[in-house]
Structure 1
Amino acid sequence: MSLHTISTARLRLAALAAVPVLALSAACGGSDGATGTRDHGGIADVPAATDRPTTAGSPPGKGGGTHTRPAGKSAFYDAQVEFVRCMRAEGGYKDYPDPKLSGYLDWTKVNEIGSRPGRNAGIKAGKDNVCLDELQAAMTLEPRRDQQKAYESMLTHAQCMRDNGVSRFTNPVMSGGNVIPGGDPNPASPVLDSGSPAYKKARQACASKLLDGLDGMQ
Structure 2
Amino acid sequence: MSDLRMSDHTPSRGARGGAARLRLAAAVAAPLLAFSVACGGGDDSGSGGDGKGDDVASVPEEPTAKGSGGTAGADGAGKDSSGAAAGGKSAFYDAQLTYVRCMRTKAGVKDFPDPRLSGYLDWPKIDEVVDPKGGGEEYKGGKDGVCFPEMEKALNLEPKRDAQKDYESMLAHAKCMRENGVSKFTNPTMSGGNVIPGGDPSPGDPALDPSSPAYKQAREACRSKLLEGLDGMQ
Q: Say whether residues 1:157 and 2:173 are aligned partners.
A: yes
Q: Which residue of 2 aligns with 1:74?
A: 90
**Structure 1 residue 179 corresponds to structure 2 residue 189:** no
Q: TM-score, normalised by structure 2?
A: 0.64
Determine if contact 2:99/2:147 at 8 Å carries over to the other structure. Answer: yes
Q: Please, which runs of 5 or more residues in structure 1 have no aligned partner?
A: 1-11, 27-70
Query: What is the aligned partner in structure 1 of residue 223 from structure 2?
Result: 207
- Corresponding position: 1:88 with 2:104: yes
Moved more, 96-105 or 118-127: 118-127
Runs of 4+ in 1 over 4 A off after TM superposition: 12-15, 19-26
Aligned to 2:161: 145
* TM-score normalized by the length of structure 1: 0.68
Asked if structure 1 preserves the Cα contact closer than 8 Å seen for 2:88 and 2:157, the reply is: no
SS in 1 for 2:195: strand
In structure 2, C-alpha distance between the alignment counterparts of 1:186 and 1:194, rounded to whole Å: 14
**Equivalents in 2 of 1:121, 1:13: separation in Å?**
13
Instruction: Find the structure with the greater CA-based Rg.
Output: 1
The structural deviation recorded for 1:164 is: 1.1
Structure 2 residue 144 is matched with structure 1 residue 135: no
Residue 175 of structure 1, CA deviation:
1.2
TM-align CA RMSD: 2.3
Tell me, in whole angstroms, the C-alpha distance in 1 between the residues paired with 2:184 and 2:91: 38
* CA 164–112 in structure 1, closer or farther in 2 if over 3 Å, else same: farther
- Measure the CA separation in 2 of the matches of 1:120 and 1:104: 23
Residue 184 of structure 2 is aligned with which of 168, 171, 175?
168
Number of equivalent positions: 162
Cα distance change, pair 205–113 in 1 and its aligned pair in 2 (3 A): farther
Q: Deviations over 1:73-107 (max 9, x none)?
A: 10000001001101111112111111000000011
**Structure 1's 85 and 24: CA in aligned 2 closer, same or farther, altered over 3 A?**
farther
More divergent stretch after superposition (117-126 vs 102-111):
117-126
The code of the aligned residue for 1:94 comes to K
Write out per-residue CA displacement over residues 122-144 of structure 1, whole angstroms, 9 at most, x where no aligned residue.
11211221111111111110011
The one-letter amino acid of 2:173's match is H
